[in-house]
Structure 1
Amino acid sequence: MQAVILAAGEGSRLRPLTRSKPKALLPVANRPIIEYVIDALLENGIRDIVVVVGYRKEEVIRHLNRLEAPIQVVVQERQIGTADALRAAESEITDDFLVLPGDNYINAESIARIRKERNAMLVAEHPNPSNFGVVVIRNGIVREIIEKPEDAPTFTVSTGVYSFSPDVFSYLTTTEIPDALSAMIAAGRRIRAIPADDWQDAIYPWDLLKMNSRMLREITPEIRGTVDASVIRRGTVRIGAGTTIGPNTVICGPVAIGSNCNIGPSCVIMPDVSIGDGAVLEPFTYVADSLLMDDVTIGSHSRIVSAVFGRGCLLADHATTHPAANFIEIGSRVLKTKFGAVLGEGVQAAPFTTFKNCIAGNNVTIEEGKTVTGLIEDGTRVM
């Protein structure tokens, strides 16, 4: 069986994190999301894999070339929808095949459930169905797909994982795959709904925290760096090569720390934290339920909770992220959510900065003693 992974899109609702990196390459538990998709396929013995790239395609191709999996790459020249992306792979398809988004987590058991079905879609229950294609099912057969409705008739949504025969290409007449499915249903074709075993998507930046927590449950313990004898470790902890953990630091897993980091002394790292390569946590810093990407520096006496930090952020001492429930505007939607902070790449904050339910764009600079909330555009200087 073949598989087509769609990894051409940006993931615009995840900005500012996707301004410089496609969603499929965002690290979760210190691994790009697309790697979890590829692993799930390989566990099912599916090795004929086509990846459709587009947005920042050179970066995606470089990453795929470093993997041991045999992958064929095709390019979607313009990012105008999932059906157009799938059409880009048509010349590579010779058999029944799976279609999977490269920016969602899917486990091997879910793929095992759908791979034996012909013309089927993987579905899941979701508390916020209006962010997805809502699926109406009767007796296990898809009757209707409603894209992002204001008032969803059901909590069942499409995961974006499909099993198709090659004749699906004759139905790909618009830009989106759900339109093709609706055309197939109208023509009397049966589309079977298969419940997923485990699936996660990150629609908005704070959703990465939930995905990060889920994926950290899968890590294996490994200590490759230098850990002081006084360090207390509990639970599953993974520490990369070249990393130094200073005296009197406490780490409560699941926690993943990358390579060449400098942690402590006297730091506290609580569960559900991933820290990328080259990070620095200065003394007396507390981190919980957070995703820190490569080369992040956090000054001493800081408290970081429910935060996503992009590459190269530099926070001086006494930084605080304060999770708060608030309304925030993303695109044309106003959403109520609770998190501490989402920082794009290269954010710099002076001492005693407090982030409260804040999304700060790339290269934002914040002067000393400020409390910042809401959405801050790229390149802003907060004075």
Structure 2
Amino acid sequence: MKALILVGGFGTRLRPLTLSVPKPLVDFANKPMILHQIEALKEIGVTEVVLAINYQPEVMINFLKEYEVKLGIKIICSQETEPLGTAGPLALARDKLDDGSGEPFFVLNSDVISEYPLAEMILFHKAHASEASIMVTQVEEPSKYGVVVMEEETGKVEKFVEKPKTFVGNKINAGIYLLNPSVLGRIQLRPTSIEKEVFPAIAAEGKLHAMVLQGFWMDIGQPRDYITGLRLYLGSLRKQAPAVLAAGPHVLGNVLVHETATVGEGCLIGPDVAIGPGCVVEPGVRLARCTLMRGARVKKHACVSRSIVGWHSTVGCWARVENMTILGEDVHVGDEIYTNGGVVLPHKEIKSSILHPEIVM
């Protein structure tokens, strides 16, 4: 079985992290975003993953080569020379996806994190004899999204309504699809939207079904949603695999600590914290609702909350980093400095407090 992951472009919403690596390689819960998806695909029998990419393909493929061996799964790139939207990449990779077997293939958006009930989706797809199946998730404010209007009992999709003014439903596209190869015949090699052009045409013929996603879902392509996604992901781990979470008198709520990280005496960590490989958390530190990426250091008595500390960055003694502060790679916040939000580009040193959210270049 095959799958295509829509890797996309420059990841501007997740800067400054994407100034160092392509968005799918940004760490989430101590491993690259895209690895969560590849592992889920491998688990249900996918043997080949195609990455539809138009930005830094050599970085992506070089990085993932080691996981090809570790996971025993083939990973190849399909490179766009111009942005092709969300459907055009399928046409570009047609020969890689359609091997003549007629077997359906998965398509995933690279910045979606969930519990990936892919095995259930295969059963759903076959039971409904769909040409295409999409996963949908329920939201509280559907007026902010494109809503999927569907028959609740059968899952048959009737239509799509973009940002409805009046209530038409509360299910939105979750960015996970299972498609028959015949769908490829509907797509031309040009910039095309699968959501606005391809799926409505299939729905009009009664051949599109939607499966409601159980469990959590989040598009983590921007910092605020990344932090929310981490909370949801760790909450899911608490139910599915609680043994992987940290425990002890210094831990509050759900916390993930890499085995190579060190945490000093007198710290209070949590809730909703991920501490990455090789990180050093010195004594007396307070961490909440944040991520420390590989090689980061938080010095004595500092506090980090609702923020992301990039690779090999340092937070000084008694410093406070909060309110959606995003530190890029190799950023150094001085002792007793306060950062109240904002974005700090890689390789910077912060010597004076940031009182209002700003971009530090």
TM-score normalised by length of structure 2: 0.82
- CA deviations over 1:133-165 (Å, ceiling 9, x no partner): 322224532222245678885432101111211
Give the aligned residue type for 1:373.
Answer: H
SS at match of 2:198: helix
Following TM superposition, by how much is the alpha carbon of 1:115 offset from its aligned partner in structure 2, in angstroms?
5.1
- DSSP 3-state at the match of 1:184: helix
Q: Matches of residues 27-176 of structure 1 in structure 2 within 5 Å?
A: 27-67=27-67, 68-77=71-80, 78-92=82-96, 93-94=98-99, 95=102, 96-114=104-122, 116-117=124-125, 118=130, 119-129=132-142, 132-139=145-152, 140-147=155-162, 153-173=168-188, 174-176=191-193
Name the residue aligned to 2:332: 348
CA contact (8 A) 2:156 2:206 kept: no
> Alpha-carbon deviation of 1:30?
0.6
Given that 1:30 and 1:258 are in contact with CA atoms closer than 8 Å, whether structure 2 keeps it comes out as: yes
Q: Is residue 269–residue 287 contact of structure 1 (8 Å, CA) maintained in 2?
A: yes
**Is residue 2:345 matched to residue 1:375?**
no
Greater alpha carbon shift after TM alignment, 131-140 vs 17-26: 131-140
Q: Is the 8 A contact 1:143 1:185 kept in 2?
A: yes
- Tell me if structure 1 keeps the 8 A contact 2:61–2:77: no
How many Å separate the matches in 1 of 2:147 and 2:161? 5
Q: Quick check: 175-184 or 108-117, which moved more?
A: 108-117
> Is the CA contact (8 Å cut-off) linking 1:76 and 1:84 kept in structure 2?
no
Q: Superposition pairs for residues 224-243 of structure 1, below 5 Å?
A: 236-237=245-246
- Tell me the SS of whatever aligns to 2:256: strand
CA distance in 2, matches of 1:71, 1:106: 23
Q: Which has the higher strand share?
A: 1
Q: Which of 303-312 and 65-74 deviates more?
A: 65-74
Contact 1:14–1:23 (CA<8 Å) still a contact in 2?
yes
Gaps of 5+ in 2: none
Instruction: Provide the C-alpha distance between the structure 2 equivalents of 1:359 and 1:6, rounded to a whole number of angstroms.
Output: 26
Tell me the distance in 1 between the aligned counterparts of 2:218 and 2:72: 23
Letter matched to residue 375 of structure 1: E
> How many residues align structurally?
338
> After superposition, what is the alpha-carbon deviation per residue over 1:168-213, rounded to whole angstroms, capped at 9, x for unaligned?
1232234221121123334x24211111123322142121122222
Higher helix fraction (1 or 2): 2
The alignment partner of 1:212 has SS state of helix
Cα distance in 2 for residues equivalent to 1:72 and 1:203: 22
The RMSD of aligned alpha carbons is 2.8
Question: Which whole-Å CA distance do the structure 2 matches of 1:131 and 1:79 have between them?
Answer: 25
Query: Once the 2 structures are TM-superposed, how far is the Cα of residue 73 of structure 1 from its aligned partner?
Result: 0.8
Larger relative contact order (Cα-Cα within 8 Å, sequence gap ≥ 6): 2
- The residue identity in structure 2 corresponding to 1:39 is E
Q: Summarize the alignment of residues 188-199 of structure 1 with structure 2, pairs less than 5 Å apart.
A: 188-198=205-215, 199=217
Identity %: 28
- 1:88 to 1:128, Cα distance in 2 relative to 1, 3 A: farther
> Secondary structure in 1 aligned to 2:19?
coil
Maintained 8 Å contact 2:42/2:73? no
More divergent stretch after superposition (91-100 vs 255-264): 255-264
In the alignment, which residue of structure 2 is the partner of 1:261? 261
1:130 Cα shift?
5.7
Whole-angstrom CA distance in 2 between matches of 1:274 and 1:83: 34
Which stretches in structure 1 are left out of the alignment for 5+ residues? 223-235, 239-247, 324-339
Within-5 A mapping of 1:330-349: 340-349=324-333
Separation of aligned partners in 2, 1:120 and 1:321: 43
**Per-residue deviation, 1:357:** 3.5
Q: What is the CA–CA distance in structure 2 between the aligned matches of 1:50 and 1:13, rounded to whole Å?
A: 24
Do structure 1's residue 214 and structure 2's residue 214 form an aligned pair? no
Point out the more displaced range, 151-160 or 119-128: 151-160
Contact 1:206 1:342 in 2 (8 A): no
Q: CA deviation at 1:260?
A: 4.2
Instruction: Please give the TM-score of this superposition, normalised by the length of structure 1.
Output: 0.78
User: How far does residue 91 in structure 1 lie from its aligned partner after superposition?
Assistant: 0.4
Q: CA deviation at 1:108?
A: 4.2
* 1:362–1:297 Cα change, 3 Å: same
